[in-house]
Structure 1
Amino acid sequence: MKKITTKLFITTFTVLFYSCLISLNIGCSNNEKDEEKSIIDFGISDISDITENSVVINADFKSNGKQNVLSRGICIAMQTNPTINDMKHEENGNVLGQYNSKFENLQHDTKFYARPYLKTESKIIYGNEHTFTTKKINIPTLTTIAVSEITQLSAVFNGKIENDGASKILSKGFFYSKTNPMPEVKDQKIENTGNSEFSNLVSGLEQNTKYFVRTFASNLAGTAYGQVVSFTTSAYILPTVKTLPISTISETTGIGGGTVVSEGSNPVVERGICWNTAPNPTINYGKSKDGTGMGSFVSNLRSLQPFQLYYIRAYAISQAGIAYGETVTAKTTGGNKPTVTVSARTGNTTLYSTVSVTNQGSTNVTAISIGCFDMDGNPAGKVSSSSSWTIGSTLPSVNYEITGLSRANKYYVIGYATNDVGKSASEKVYFSTL
């Protein structure tokens, strides 16, 4: 703190001298006998509250020396003899007494020059010059503390300002990256408005991923960085689920279930069974929803097709993803056998016949055959030849030649076709040999 008082004694001689040099008229007479009427008394009385970027300067206007003072003020600069063209604070009026000015946004660790001044109608009068130096500051020092509360998608970043560098902290927080081992401005940034010990919950991270993080803090001197620390987010662990055997099956429905043995890293939000006619069924096809969490559950299979083999497995869903149990199979009941016809054309002791499938039924025909019988139902004749056919053909047919029949005798034939559902027979077709 500085206390300064400046008095300017303006005698008759001084006034006349300056009047001749710069044509300034203070309005005094050579016959002035009362010297007190010529005294202007003002000056800086106190310089206080000096920080790195501000100062408060007080001045005392004790006497105007009978001058018509229009305004009073204080000016400062980084060079000697500051003027009103530099940084200034000014008050209007011919008012005696204390006046003060607070100067802000100054450069730190810098010497400044200050002078009070008065404005009259004809001139500017400056008081004695004084100096002050703003405080020296440094960039902050800070520490990056180990990351805490790490999950799959979030973590808490921690930091501490060890020293503010004798200057107000303007901003602070964290830089972090999963690719840059020295995170900086171009990377992801989280700001903090807390105290010297500060933390931020950071979400939106990727699971099972390594990240680099460090603190930053800025004051008027610049930006400082803490050391880099790294951490790895937790990996998701899928639930463990078991598929139970199918207990009941019909043409279009069934009953099964499963057990969630473990939820893994996250709670199970949906569980059930899924099914398809192809191996490894997923929830994108038929499925049931049977609760949440751990434990056993019973599931209903619906909208099945008759006489169809289904693949079934249990599933459980959590934030970690979808887990499936082992696959079990079950075949619905019902279904249709093939539809078949037979024709007959005879000779003396030979039958020429064709067995035709007109509808395969629920599955492909796997076998085609023929039977020839006498009127007592006993097998007759012998199949001496037959044409070929291919399993999977849409409507296959086979030509047969049956020999060894008796002349002028009556017989009948039956055609047969088999699929996975069973074996079907045609109507009897009667014929007589010649």
Structure 2
Amino acid sequence: MRKITMKLLLSPFVILFVLLTINFGCSSNEKDEDKSVIDFEITEITNVTENSAVINADLKSSGKENILYRGVCVAMQTNPTINDIKYEEEGNILGQYVSKFENLQYNTKFYARPFITTNSKTIYGNELTFTTKNISVPAVNTLEVSLVTQNSAVFNGKIESDGSSKIVSKGFYYSKTNPKPEYKDERVESTGNFEFSSSITGLEQNTTYYVRAFASNIAGSALGNVVSFKTSSYVLPILTTAQISTIGETTAIGGGTVISEGSHPVTERGICWAAYPNPTITNSKTKDGNGIGSFVSNLYSLQPYKLYYVRAYATSAAGTAYSEGVVFNTIGGNKPSVVASARATGTTLYATVTVKSKGSDNIKSISIGCFDMDGNSVGKVSSSSGWNSQDASPSVNYEITGLSRNNKYYIIGYATNGVGKGASEKVYFSTL
């Protein structure tokens, strides 16, 4: 019997097919294994300050899990969880994400882990640590106070060191009674950087104040040295009043000179007047410019033949100053209106002079004259009654003796005020 041996011949094409089949099967299995693995980690911690840090994480693969949240948690002990400080983002999102943590305690070691939360569990990744920077309270210096006036000043300060932390507030405490001002005294906040200032108003004049700068960061507050200053006093302007000229019945010209403005610029000047002494700017007044120097003023709406008191004034932030005053009378006006009556008995005449109107001024005197027909003054005059200047219509009775019999005479009554003498009509009579 013949034995037949068959020889298997493998062609190159068969070998290539087998190898491709094996490689394809292996690659598919490896890819399926990658998809089933959750891969995430913290990659870097940066920008660490005294109270903050930035943590970078990367979710490379979510596997077959349905991820609800991804994030980072930190704590002051190892193995932090989502019950500690955390940052999270919602959604099944692959790739890098950044978590910023603030308001951390300074000079403290923290532990950080990434996490993902699924429908059924929370999974944590690698753990890294970082330490926040150490800080101290600031160092601040109170500088000299500037631009001091009667009621204001500018406080100045300088932060010498921020204590390695951001300055959260700065300013000044000040007091006029406490030589070491602090939080319970007056306080003003300031802006600016390391050199800062505050303008203060409403201070009392001629008063000593104490000032202290302060600066605060998250480590606390620091007070600077104490600086004192004294506000200046108010000084009123100095001025004079010019004599009144060009006097009319209702107008006149006056003026004055501001010799010194005092502690503040003169903002208004002029004269004021009234019918009584020491007029003020609440009475009639003029406004004749500002500043130092001489000025001319026009008085108006005056009354004829009336006495007026005039003062120059100057107003500044320190107040209103007045000069010594002057006095003048307007011209014009009315003399008194007078009537006379007569009754002769023998060679004696009984007469009465009555003031019907005082005119523009009070009555100063009342008198009578007796004359012959040639206008010569005759007779002896004596009064039998007095008069009161306050009476609305004062009158005086007279007795005139020493006249001749059977002669014709006349009398005239007189009354005098500041304007002049008023006279009655002639009243004729005859003796028996």
The TM-score with structure 2 as length reference comes to 0.79
Which residue matches 2:339? 341
Tell me, yes or no, if the aligned pair for 1:69 and 1:93 is still in contact at 8 Å: yes
Deviations 1:361-399 (A, max 9, x none): 111112112223333444443335511212232210111
Q: Find the partner of 1:418 among 400, 416, 419.
A: 416
Q: Tell me the matched-pair count.
A: 399
Q: Aligned partners of 1:369, 1:52: CA distance in 2, in Å?
A: 107
Deviations 1:115-174 (A, max 9, x none): 344545644344565554433322222111111122344432211112212211112223
Deviations 1:318-358 (A, max 9, x none): 33332222222222222222111111122233322211111
Residue range with higher mean Cα deviation, 140-149 or 303-312: 303-312
- 1:284-295 equivalences under 5 Å are 284-295=282-293
Tell me, yes or no, if the aligned pair for 2:383 and 2:396 is still in contact at 8 Å: no
Deviations 1:217-266 (A, max 9, x none): 22112333323323233333322222222233222222233222223333
In the TM superposition, residue 359 of structure 1 has moved relative to its aligned partner by 0.9
Distance 1:169 1:409, change over 3 A: same
In the TM superposition, residue 87 of structure 1 has moved relative to its aligned partner by 1.6
Q: Aligned partners of 2:152, 2:209: CA distance in 1, in Å?
A: 11
Which residue matches 2:267? 269
Q: Find the partner of 2:154 among 131, 136, 156.
A: 156
- 1:126-165 equivalences under 5 Å are 126-127=124-125, 131-165=129-163
The sequence identity of aligned pairs, in percent, is 67
Which residue matches 2:103? 105
The TM-score with structure 1 as length reference comes to 0.79
- 1:234-273 equivalences under 5 Å are 234-273=232-271
Which residue matches 1:391? 389
Q: Aligned partners of 1:259, 1:84: CA distance in 2, in Å?
A: 84
Distance 1:81 1:401, change over 3 A: same
Q: Aligned partners of 1:285, 1:122: CA distance in 2, in Å?
A: 92
Q: Please give the root-mean-square deviation of Cα atoms over the aligned residues, in Å.
A: 3.4
Tell me, yes or no, if the aligned pair for 2:191 and 2:197 is still in contact at 8 Å: no
Q: Aligned partners of 2:284, 2:35: CA distance in 1, in Å?
A: 109
1:227 counterpart SS class: strand
Q: Aligned partners of 2:372, 2:71: CA distance in 1, in Å?
A: 140
Segments of 5+ residues of structure 1 without an aligned counterpart are 1-34
Q: Aligned partners of 1:94, 1:307: CA distance in 2, in Å?
A: 104
2:289 counterpart SS class: coil
Which residue matches 1:323? 321
In the TM superposition, residue 43 of structure 1 has moved relative to its aligned partner by 5.6
Segments of 5+ residues of structure 2 without an aligned counterpart are 1-32
Tell me, yes or no, if the aligned pair for 2:35 and 2:64 is still in contact at 8 Å: no
Which residue matches 2:26? none
Q: Which amino acid aligns with 2:363?
A: V
Which residue matches 1:362? 360
Instruction: Report whether the alignment pairs 1:307 with 2:308.
Output: no
Tell me, yes or no, if the aligned pair for 1:67 and 1:120 is still in contact at 8 Å: no
Q: Aligned partners of 1:138, 1:112: CA distance in 2, in Å?
A: 20
Q: Find the partner of 2:190 among 189, 192, 195.
A: 192
Distance 1:345 1:122, change over 3 A: closer
Q: Which amino acid aligns with 1:431?
A: F
Distance 1:53 1:401, change over 3 A: same
Q: Which amino acid aligns with 1:283?
A: I
In the TM superposition, residue 196 of structure 1 has moved relative to its aligned partner by 0.8
Q: Aligned partners of 2:342, 2:263: CA distance in 1, in Å?
A: 73
Q: Which amino acid aligns with 2:87?
A: H
Which residue matches 1:433? 431
Tell me, yes or no, if the aligned pair for 1:217 and 1:223 is still in contact at 8 Å: yes
Which residue matches 1:88? 86
Deviations 1:287-327 (A, max 9, x none): 33333333223332222222222222322333333222222
Tell me, yes or no, if the aligned pair for 1:69 and 1:94 is still in contact at 8 Å: no
Tell me, yes or no, if the aligned pair for 1:336 and 1:361 is still in contact at 8 Å: yes
Distance 1:325 1:99, change over 3 A: closer
Q: Aligned partners of 1:251, 1:382: CA distance in 2, in Å?
A: 40
Q: Aligned partners of 2:98, 2:290: CA distance in 1, in Å?
A: 73
Q: Aligned partners of 1:304, 1:100: CA distance in 2, in Å?
A: 88
Which residue matches 1:222? 220
Q: Which amino acid aligns with 1:282?
A: T
Q: Which amino acid aligns with 1:424?
A: G
In the TM superposition, residue 181 of structure 1 has moved relative to its aligned partner by 5.0
Q: Aligned partners of 2:184, 2:205: CA distance in 1, in Å?
A: 22
Q: Aligned partners of 2:97, 2:389: CA distance in 1, in Å?
A: 113
